[in-house]
Structure 1
Amino acid sequence: MTRIAKLLIAAALASTALSAPLSAQEADADNRTMDDLVPGETYPNTAENKLTEGAVETVSTDAPLARLEPPVAPPDNPMSEAKVELGRMLFFDPRLSGNGTMPCSACHSPDLGWGTETPISFGYPGTTHWRNSQTILNAAYYNKLFWDGSKTSLESQAPSAAHGAVAGNGDDSIMEMRLAFIPEYVTRFKELFGTENPIIADAWRAIAAYQRTIVSDPQNVPFDRFMDGDETALSEEAKRGLDLFKGKANCASCHNGALFSDQQFYDLGVPQNVIMDSTDPLQQITVRWENYSKGVTEEMYYSDPGDMGLYYVTKRQTDRYKFRVPSLRELTYTGPYMHNGTFETLAEVVDFYNEGGGEGVNKTELLKPLGLDDQEKADLVAFLESLSSDEPIVDQEPELPEIQARR
């Protein structure tokens, strides 16, 4: 039985035990209340913050560490092996981009932890990017996607990346037309969605379905085996690191639950990446464009020309430099780390937290100097490594169908 087939069966079993989560359309970021965006905070004129009925709660501000369970698909995008296979093809297909050269896999390579090995992601030809390419490993469990949480479902994340000016830079109409000139896609879309020609929104649904299969298998993760009762799954160093994680190091205050993320937003005072001070005109253009297009005034930009994170979404001064907490799963394969890729190794990350983080205008009070000695830091790294699969999760690029002229 294939990995995908096993995941589909597990997801189906999980679905029967849970009521339906928020649909892909309902979960789109444009329809969120402010308290949906930043759970736990109260805003005037908005509904009381609460989980969507039936949603899978993988995170909480006080959730214990837990084994990862199969993700559940939204009711308007059910999983099937045929849909996953179509999504797999589209994920690797460069024709879903502006100039037909930038597939999803360009910035989310299976061989590079489903991200890139560079601190900053690759930009669309003629541009540069400005943030680290987040791994899509276990993205199925997030209810806030991208570093600033601007999307809340895989179905809305996929087109956002494909349209992004420094990412895919694609236009829906031309991408949809390309699909219509590929006979195999026409057949697959018709069988799956019942349309005479491919509809681009269905392409994003298929890609989202594929991404829901790119998840950790608990049987292959030492920490999950330990949670299942295998005392030998963790080394003595990792067990000491687990105690530090929950105790002295206080990592679990933000990295908790099965995902090892509370999906909240914090300013940690992460050092600014050199791209922000670059003399490269393309990098300067990207940083200015990203700021101006997100509503930052020229006066504010010149006084504070950095990546303001959650502020771009909420326009609240108290959200400047806050970024969503990432999952710690599969860390061994997903460096560099932080929103700007400023740390190359887990040891550097631990050193940063041991020093109490950096300087930030809205820096969280949760960060304090930890006073860890060298052995404790090594133990903590050993535990963090136990959250990764024994072998990297990879996939091979499929053979893509040919485009053909038509009347």
Structure 2
Amino acid sequence: MTRHITPILSSAALTALLSLPALAESIPPLASLSPPPIPDDNPMTPEKVALGEKLFWDGRLSGNGAMPCSACHLPDLGWGTGGAISFGYPGTQHWRNSQTILNAAYYNKLFWEGNSTSLEAQAPAAAGGAVAGNGDGSMMEMRLRFVPDYVREFKAVFGTDWPNLAHAWDAIAAYQRTIVTDATKVPFDRYLAGDTDAMSDAAKRGMDIYNGKAGCISCHNGALASDQKFYNIGVPAAAEFEQEPLYQITLRWELYQKGVPEDVYRAGADDLGLYHVTKRPEDKGKFRTPSLRELRWTEPYMHNGALWSLADVVDFYDAGGGEGQTAGLQPLGLNDGEKADLVAFLEAMSMDEPLLAEAPELPETATWSEFLK
């Protein structure tokens, strides 16, 4: 949630530095979200979004036909799973928290280690991932081609005679760009728009702490409340890794599959984060800064769901992070009232009510005889 700019600064010194014009200009202030960016090669249309909504909920885009995107991103669970670590494809066990897809449209780095740079690339990585969807591309595409409604819809949206899997990912990405915060329903955004009564007094005090004594703004800045950089803040290993053998099996398999050296693989007992992308030792344990928007609806927190409440998160940072952190965190010295105020502000960055959606009716697969007509 927060990081001091340098590990040798006291809270008072940090507050003073944040008041300097040069530093203030280098840290984007919190702001309301603009409409999400739309890539030139995947323009939005209502028809494409409607198709993407169906595909998001359709288990045909998985290995066993029963693991759609929505399996790990349920609207009534904050568009995640509501648990610490996401469940895995049958026979495996996932090793990370299922990150909410709320406002994923604004990220330029997807997944906790940032190894995908667009929603269009993220969708197939999840659907084909061995511990997620485990889907074979040719099989998933053929399933779509045996659905007459999809044949018609893909032709109408993309102009193709048959469903193309790459277009399926484009449609899902278009749908995900509609799963975003509505600023009119967020107390903080209403406050920024001029409604001085939109936030409670506690939340207003918490905002001052966020921008000052706690230094949260140093990493959680801008409209997304994330600098999208990577830090090792010392989050403890998930307890599940020691309690259930299947967690360790999947974790070791992931380490092996991601190409870590043998000595790292054999000693590995935790998620290595950004190291899997860069293979630089100094990147072990680093994860992308998550957005602080919609925290009220998206618990638990951290890459492995280790912290179950916002109060836990504030306590973690107040203590200076966890063992082995390299982010320069220091104890904040917050009292109980300041902690409560900071939680009130974090909650004020969420919508008044969770963003919900109903599962759409999915089209049926044709029999072979029907398909030949």
* TM-score normalized by the length of structure 2: 0.91
Once the two structures are TM-superposed, the CA of residue 359 in structure 1 deviates from its matched residue by 1.4
Contact kept? 1:61, 1:262, Cα under 8 Å: no
For 1:375 and 1:221, how far apart are their aligned partners in 2? 23
Give me the whole-angstrom Cα distance separating, in 2, the residues matched to 1:72 and 1:342.
32
**Equivalent position SS for 1:356:** coil
- What pairs with 1:79-94 in structure 2 (closer than 5 Å)? 79-94=44-59
Q: Kindly, what percent of the aligned residue pairs are identical?
A: 64
Q: CA deviation at 1:295?
A: 1.1
What residue identity is the alignment partner of 2:65?
Answer: G
1:275 maps to what in 2? 240
* Mapped partners of 2:271, 2:92: distance in 1: 17
Question: In the alignment, which residue of structure 1 is the partner of 2:312?
Answer: 348
In structure 1, the residue matched to 2:137 is: 172
Q: Write the distance in 1 (CA, Å) between the matches of 2:143 and 2:226.
A: 39
Unmatched runs of 5 consecutive residues or more in structure 1: 1-59
Are residue 285 (structure 1) and residue 213 (structure 2) matched?
no
1:383 matched to 2:345? The reply is: yes
> Given that residues 255 and 268 in structure 2 are in contact (C-alpha distance below 8 angstroms), is that contact kept between their aligned partners in structure 1?
no
Task: Provide the residue aligned with 1:211 in structure 2.
Answer: 176
Alignment equivalent of 1:328, drawn from 287, 292, 296: 292
Name 2:326's counterpart in structure 1.
363
Corresponding residue for 1:403?
A: 365
| Residue of structure 2 in register with 1:296 after alignment | 260
Match of 1:153 in 2: 118
Cα separation, 2, equivalents of 1:255 and 1:299: 35
CA displacement at 1:285 relative to structure 2? 1.5
Q: What is the letter of the counterpart of residue 252 of structure 2?
A: R
Partners of 1:115 and 1:243 in 2: how far apart? 30
Q: Aligned equivalents of 2:282 and 2:168: distance in 1? A: 37
Rounded Cα–Cα distance in structure 2 between residues aligned with 1:343 and 1:182: 43
C-alpha distance after superposition, 1:53-109 (max 9, x if no partner)? xxxxxxx96111111111121000000000000000000011110000001000000
Q: Is the 8 A contact 2:85 2:304 kept in 1?
A: yes
What is the CA–CA distance in structure 1 between the aligned matches of 2:26 and 2:58, rounded to whole Å? 39
Moved over 6 A (4+): none
Take 2:197 and 2:248, find their aligned partners in 1: how far apart are those partners? 51
Which residue in 2 is equivalent to 1:144? 109
Select between 166-175 and 267-276 the one with higher mean Cα deviation: 267-276
Contact 1:144 1:151 in 2 (8 A): yes
Q: Out of 287, 305, 309, which is 2:269 matched to?
A: 305
1:109-145 CA-to-partner distances (Å, cap 9, x unmatched) read 0110000111000111111100000000000000000
CA shift for structure 1 position 274: 1.3
SS class of match (1:231): coil
Look up the equivalent residue of 1:199 and give its one-letter code.
N
What's the RMSD between the two structures over aligned residues? 1.0
Amino acid paired to 2:39 = P
* Counterparts of 1:390 and 1:282, CA distance in 2: 38
- For 2:332 and 2:266, the matched residues in 1 are separated by 35
Partner SS state of residue 197, structure 2: helix
Match of 2:205 in 1: 240
- Give the Cα–Cα distance (whole angstroms) in 2 for the partners of residues 300 and 205 of structure 1: 37
Aligned residues: 345
Query: d(CA) in 2 for partners of 1:194 and 1:341?
Result: 43
2:256 & 2:237 partners in 1: Cα distance? 19
Q: Is the 8 A contact 2:199 2:348 kept in 1?
A: yes
Residues of 2 paired with 1:290 and 1:170: CA distance?
17
TM-superposed CA distance for 1:156, in Å, is 0.2
**1:317 maps to 2:276:** no
- Give the AA of the match of 1:282: L
Match of 1:115 in 2: 80
Change (3 A) 1:89 1:61: farther
User: Relative contact order, CA 8 A, sep 6+: which one is greater?
Assistant: 2
Match of 2:43 among 58, 66, 78: 78
Counterpart of 1:374 in structure 2 is: 336
1:375 partner amino acid: G
Deviations 1:308-339 (A, max 9, x none): 10000001111110000000000000000000
Which residue of structure 1 aligns with residue 16 of structure 2?
none
Q: Deviations over 1:267-309 (max 9, x none)?
A: 000111113323x332221001110011113321233421110
